[in-house]
A and B are shown apart, each in its own frame.
Chain A
Amino acid sequence: MSKSVNIKDLNVYYSDFMAVQDVTMDIAPRSVTAFIGPSGCGKSTLLRTLNRMHEVIPGAHVQGQVLVDGDDLYGAGVDPVTVRRQIGMVFQRPNPFPTMSIKENVLAGVRLNNKRIPRATAEALVEKSLQGANLWNEVKDRLDKPGQGLSGGQQQRLCIARAIAVEPEVLLMDEPCSALDPISTLAVEDLINELKDSYTVVIVTHNMQQAARVSDKTAFFNIAGTGKPGRLIEYSDTTTIFNNPVQQATEDYVSGRFG
């Protein structure tokens, strides 16, 4: 169920503006890859191109290829809706559907694919997904309560449960802990560590300690100046990036000299 992601010569544009230039990288299955870099360097944009979420913005488009186990996401006739059903995403701020119960939130994605699922199957799936998101024990007694009644960290884990309920091949996380307190952050980081046993996880983070803690490989992005496209500067094992990076810019960034 976990798949590799290969990005080849990818340029990302918002209309005429090139946001990300010439990225090539290979992401292994069952690994955690972190995207780091200063604000505006295009790391979130790049993450969104991995499930075509960038297309939500009118005029956004790419050149190049993104292969998931060899299949090009941008090939002719590929439906972005199908892509997103296979590549899940978790956002900066927890966003459970406000009118739905915890249970309904978890099942929301599954219901899209398959309107009628037997009650028993649904309940098993809810438990499995919430277990997978380390949330089951906290919410098992109030599955029918609104998802918004949970704390921020619980909400974010609910969103992860919702994302993994559809059993995606890749899980994208866009600064999943930036709105959370340290304890909740820890809970989510622990979860990420477990998730990589079954999923290919790509995470964007501003927090370098977090990148160092959770990821196997790290990609550092930078931007030459305002209005210039973001570029992939260095991509390597996390230990390499943080301990002896090849590029000067990477070293400056990870050692806190800028950014």
Chain B
Amino acid sequence: MSESSRVGPRMSAATKARPADRIFRLLSTSAAVSIMVILAGVALFLIVRSLPAILANWQTTPELSTGPTGGFASFFSYVGPLAFGTVWASVIALLMATPVAVGIALFISHYSPRKLAGFLGYIVDLLAAVPSVVFGLWGILVMRPFLLPMQVWLNEYLGWIPLFSGKVTSTGSSILTGAVVLAVMVLPIITSISREIFLQTPKLHEEAALALGSTRWEMIRLTVFPYARSGVVSAILLGLGRALGETMAVAMIISPAILVSFKLTTEGENSQTIASNIALNFPIASGLQRDALIGTGLVLFVISLAVNMLARLILNAKPGGRKLWVRPRTEPRAKAIAIAAAEAGAETAIDTSQRSPAGRS
């Protein structure tokens, strides 16, 4: 402190902005502003384009009472089942993906030998790079026939559970098949974020648990899970974000109908998702029908936005109670990085040397 007061005058001179600094600041500021503008532009486009369809009387407007939008009383009775289907398919997928993803992440972070961990992490990241149309084809050609006998079995023996009731699929194009493929697609996001957070668990806490005589599993339960809980929840929500918007694979695999149905093993009663419905019907739709489809897109936009905001809220919610947009400073920083990386589709390679024996004694 006393040092800095001595060199005070010189330092204040140095704080004068230099041209390069100013230019860079201008560039980065405009980049930051442009993303806001783009987002606002997208929202505005969705709202402006969809308003005519949302406000129209669907029964008396000939264009809306036929074709892809035919048979619905209003925009809301059209988008309702679609919104339900979107969330339902994603939730089923997450229910399947989460245990597996957390399992893989734990295996990578706490069980596997380091070399295998690196390899596995690489494989999981590779999975994220597979285009969704490939997953769609895989779903149609491989998973549909593969899962068909299981679905017939579920329907036959567990059909008394409403989830498995109804006329069982004979081609495999059920929401269950779609959800399995969707689960594989969201697996990398949940896995890599969870893995990052598991790896961030303070060594100190882990050793505390081990020194008390906990087994590895007890150590994980005692220290890793409590530490990573909020991070894993937001990883799941980010996975949900991806599942909600997934289009191609769902459109290719699931045999859709616009209705609300919880049944998992039928092909006639699968709730359609918003994204898939747009993809399937946009080409044939005309004028107001397109506006209606854009309106469903607006609903999807709102749902996704809500899920992402919830993810951030949970991530940042610490016992201290931080504000939504304040980036936490200490430990959660790693989570924030992991999130940012996941959103950018990239991965922060964790420096495994953190876990090396160096510096002991």
Contact = CB atoms under 8 A, between A and B. Distances in A.
B213 A82 contact: yes
Contacts of A97: 205, 208-209, 222-223, 226
A89 B319 CA distance: 29
Contact of A108 (B207, B212, B215, B361): B212
Contact of A162 (B212, B215, B356, B361): B212
B320 to A, nearest CB: 11
A95 B212 CA distance: 12
A19 B361 contact: yes
B156 interface: no
A58 B212 contact: no
Contacts of A95: 202, 204-205, 207-208
Interface string B2-32: 0000000000000000000000000000000
Interface residues of B, number: 25
Nearest to A159: B208
Contacts of B208: 91, 95-97, 159, 162
B204 A56 contact: no
A34 interface: no
Contacts of A166: 212-213
Interface string A86-129: 10110101011111100000001100110000000000000000
A231 interface: no
Given A91-B204, A99-B226, A40 B361 contact: yes
Contacts of B356: 57
B327 interface: no
Given A84-B212, A97-B226, A91 B207 contact: yes
A21 interface: no
Nearest to A83: B213
B113, B212, B226, B357 — most chain A CB neighbours (10 Å):
B212
Contacts of B360: 19, 44-45, 48, 57
A95 B208 CA distance: 7
B218 interface: yes
Which DSSP category, helix, strand, loop or mixed, fits chain A's interface?
mixed
Contacts of A19: 360-361
A177 to B, nearest CB: 16
A43 B214 CA distance: 24
Given A53-B211, A162-B212, A44 B361 contact: yes
Contacts of A85: 212-213
A98 B212 contact: no
Given A95-B205, A112-B218, A84 B211 contact: yes
Interface string B227-249: 10000000000000000000000
A85 B212 CA distance: 6
A146 B356 CA distance: 31
Interface string A15-41: 000010000000000000000000111
A14 to B, nearest CB: 5
Interface in B294-333: 319
Contact of A58 (B113, B206, B222, B223): B113
B91 interface: no
Interface string A201-237: 0000000000000000000000000000010000000
A60 interface: yes
A62 to B, nearest CB: 14
Contacts of B260: none
A154 interface: no
Contacts of B226: 97-100
A14 B361 CA distance: 12
B28 to A, nearest CB: 36
A247 B202 CA distance: 40
A82 B210 CA distance: 11
Q: Taking each of A60, A97, A230, which has the highest tally of chain B beta carbons within 10 Å of its own beta carbon?
A: A97
Contacts of B215: 81
A142 to B, nearest CB: 15
Given A39-B361, A40-B361, A98-B226, A81 B204 contact: no
A188 interface: no
A163 interface: yes
Nearest to B331: A98
A38 to B, nearest CB: 9
A56 B209 CA distance: 12
A20 B360 CA distance: 12
A88 B207 contact: no
Interface string B270-299: 000000000000000000000000000000
A48 to B, nearest CB: 8
Interface in A158-209: 159, 162-163, 166
Contacts of B206: 56
B218 A163 contact: no
Contacts of B357: 14, 57, 59-60
A100 B226 CA distance: 9
A112 B204 contact: no
A88 B361 contact: no
8 contacts: A19-B361, A45-B360, A56-B207, A91-B208, A95-B202, A95-B207, A97-B208, A97-B226
Interface of A: 14, 19, 39-45, 48, 51, 53, 56-60, 81-86, 88-89, 91, 93, 95-100, 108-109, 112-113, 146, 159, 162-163, 166, 230
Given A19-B360, A45-B361, 4 more contacts: A53-B207, A95-B204, A96-B208, A108-B222
4 closest A-B pairs (Cβ-Cβ)?
A: A85-B213, A109-B212, A89-B211, A99-B226
